[in-house]
């Protein structure tokens, strides 16, 4: 089993009021020096079988057509190692 992570972010030009609300709260909480916050979504897909190029291409399609709305959002796909050693 492997885990593929899809991160979805609003396109840079689109207003992100949630991120702004977080950013505005930072000085109040004593966190200085952070000039911008943007909030996104993270999807963790547990994939049966090997994550080969074909599988990644399928996940890319899935992200493009469903997990993200590319009119307003960008996305990235990356493979995350699942730590087998823990077992």
In whole angstroms, the minimum distance from the beta carbon of 13 to another protein comes to 7
Distance CA 1, CA 84 (A): 10
**21, 27, 29, 32: CA torsion to nearest 10:** 120
CB nearer to another protein: pick between 4 and 68 = 68
CB nearer to another protein: pick between 4 and 10 = 10
CB nearer to another protein: pick between 19 and 79 = 19
Distance CA 87, CA 78 (A): 23
Q: Which residues would be at the binding site for another protein (CB under 8 A)?
A: 10, 13-15, 17-18, 21, 66-67, 69, 71-72
């Amino acid at each position: 089993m492997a885990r593929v992570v899809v991160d979805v972010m609003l396109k840079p030009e689109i207003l992100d009021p949630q991120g702004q609300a977080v950013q505005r709260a930072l000085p109040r909480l004593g966190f200085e020096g952070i000039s911008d916050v943007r909030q996104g979504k993270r999807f963790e897909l547990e994939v049966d079988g090997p994550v080969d190029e074909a599988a990644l291409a399928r996940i890319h399609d899935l992200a493009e057509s469903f997990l993200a709305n590319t009119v307003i959002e960008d996305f990235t796909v990356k493979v995350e190692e699942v730590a087998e050693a823990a077992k």
